[in-house]
Structure 1
């Protein structure tokens, strides 16, 4: 089917399901105590997006009559999942695996493990690691199954956000998604894949790719409201950010000169000490450097120094974003990740960024273009604000909503 037909999908599925159920009803009297018949009926009813009591009853009877019916256990697990009973769903998938090792149970278990509530950070971390292992095993059973590769990509995104944001995990997720599309053409039409990948692209500041992904997800599932909403929010964020950078946060020229006259190397604080240890582990004082003199990428041994001229509290933001102007009146965007909701900087604050990571953005989407430079800061604890380090309460682990409407 083409993208133009995407809006008809749910209706088409409902019609096909009703036709099949009508045929099954004609045979019901003869086969109502047959496990395979009950499985067929349960599978047909299970196609609907919502929980079905009748499907649950059919499938429960099917696996009682024939406990080795792996598909019955798997579809029953999916019903409990739709019902919100994740613990019983997990029991069903585990039960299916006790019968025989199969990719459907493994990847379903991978998904459920990531969604189980409760437990502290350590317990959640263990569940996510186990989830990745289950998804890997599913892929190993059939490397040509695009769905298994897609689930593995989701598991790696979970691992990335719950276990320290290791860039290797982000790359593993993107590789798994690419493999899903390579081995199975239908995965290129999976709106969830495009949405999840776009979320990761946005976090990695690959804004053009993120906008393209949200747009593609929206086209593939017109009824799903979150992708176009994310696309709108990101475009609005980029519009505001570039406008504020160009006019230096609309700070009047006289006020800006007064602010910058107070900017001195004393704001470097601990960065001026020969004992200062940089985020990369280098020991020694940092040399203040103007924004225009910073190279793209990692700037070792130097610090960016400036005054805050604006901050941006956008919808669905992934980073605390502010604009900083240096002594040459050059303005640059600063994106700070893993900030607590209570943390922020005020207009006029002096900010030092040790060994800044500089990036140039040239974003084109539909008929809009955005061009700007930014500095990425992975934690507020890396910043020196008004000569002082930030306390540990300034930081919190990123919580990014990448979860699809369904996996």
Structure 2
């Protein structure tokens, strides 16, 4: 049973009769209750209370520390006491020097204290000392294979930066491997599933954006929420999944994710900013599409009248692809087809991905074209002709907070797939994607 300030005298009197195991059990119950309060906060509070969460957790921590400090001084130099006290102090998202000091003493007294190493690693992680955090998690694994060290090591591996791109790729592959092992040790642990999702997210963006890997990331996030109801109250999960949804042009899901992350952590400005940036982008895009970039009349007619078959390049002629108007495309990939049009506007979102332009064909149909993985210097100009083979069409009908956006777009995974003014775009136009997500708070 937990200790309370009202029975301090009784506790002190009984302290000598309590065994070390009994004292440890009481302290463990106190710390477990503190973490349950934090992790299940939204089961007893509404989302409207999100702004109070950190304050409430800090107050609960102070109460827990006060109750722990009532224990007889006999036990306060013991490794288990120092570890549990350090863990309680480590409950908040910010680095605590008190927690670091207590946990450092604990593992020195008992180097086999696996939970102590894991907690100390998390303290260093919050301090942004990645090397020290890695040492702690590896130290814990040397004593005992455990899911917490494995998934924390997965986080660390993704944060190791090198000038060697191959080494960075190996680190992310190792990150996936460690996270998978953590899930295998306990498939019912939502945190491990969430961290595996983040590992797949990183792998997706560093290895050519394989759609199978993006699906693995999304599946891991779904599994995290399925096995652990507290995962739905994790703002980082919502932001990271929204980032992936945006890249996959699931714009409504992205907006919902950014909005939910902001609601769960009101002091965190990034989700609000990214939600608004996406809304602004979609609003501008729909406006430009509706008026064809404000290019009208004779100028537009002249641009379209010069769309000749020669601009199809090697995609046209005998044995080439079937030339089709934009309006005849079916949702999804259209293999064996090629479309051609003129650029009437270009639009770059705040995160610079995707490069977006409006394409009008000879019939006057205007669709958006979204190009990914281009170098910063690549782009197209108004009046350029663009040829797109095997176009991948998507119909967007997005609703979010009273706003609606409806338009058609063609996705292009690399500029090397295109002809611009009849000319192929060389390999130098392609670059790896850059993604913003929140790895430091896995």
* TM-score, scaled to structure 2: 0.87
> 1:324 maps to what in 2?
359
Conserved 8 A contact 1:230-1:316: no
1:355 aligns with 2:379: no
Structure 1 position 13, deviation (Å): 1.1
Structure 1 position 368, deviation (Å): 1.1
3-state SS of paired residue (1:212): helix
Larger Rg: 2
Match of 1:230 among 274, 299, 305: 274
> 2:204 maps to what in 1?
160
Any residues of structure 2 matched to 1:224-373 within 5 Å, and which? 224-272=268-316, 284-373=319-408
> 1:50 maps to what in 2?
94
1:67 aligns with 2:111: yes
3-state SS of paired residue (1:199): helix
Q: Distance in 2 between matches of 1:198 and 1:165?
A: 16
* Alpha-carbon distance change, 4 to 16 in structure 1, aligned in 2, over 3 angstroms: same
* TM-score, scaled to structure 1: 0.95
Conserved 8 A contact 1:336-1:376: yes
Q: Distance in 1 between matches of 2:349 and 2:110?
A: 55
Conserved 8 A contact 2:155-2:439: no
Q: Deviations over 1:266-313 (max 9, x none)?
A: 111232366xxxxxxxxx412321111222211122211000000002
Match of 1:96 among 140, 146, 158: 140
Q: Distance in 1 between matches of 2:65 and 2:200?
A: 38
Structure 1 position 49, deviation (Å): 2.1
Conserved 8 A contact 1:128-1:159: yes
Structure 1 position 77, deviation (Å): 0.6
Q: Deviations over 1:18-61 (max 9, x none)?
A: 22223334448433421011102211221232222222221111
1:76 aligns with 2:112: no
Conserved 8 A contact 1:195-1:404: no
CA RMSD, Structure 1 to Structure 2 (Å)? 1.4
Match of 1:180 among 224, 227, 232: 224
Q: Distance in 1 between matches of 2:361 and 2:92?
A: 58
Conserved 8 A contact 1:192-1:405: no
1:13 aligns with 2:57: yes
Structure 2: give runs of 5+ residues left out of the alignment. Answer: 1-44
Moved >6 Å (runs of 4+) = none
Structure 1 position 222, deviation (Å): 0.9
Conserved 8 A contact 1:311-1:322: yes
Structure 1 position 393, deviation (Å): 2.2
* Alpha-carbon distance change, 191 to 174 in structure 1, aligned in 2, over 3 angstroms: same
Structure 1 position 119, deviation (Å): 4.1
Conserved 8 A contact 1:52-1:79: yes
Structure 1 position 405, deviation (Å): 5.6
Conserved 8 A contact 1:270-1:388: no
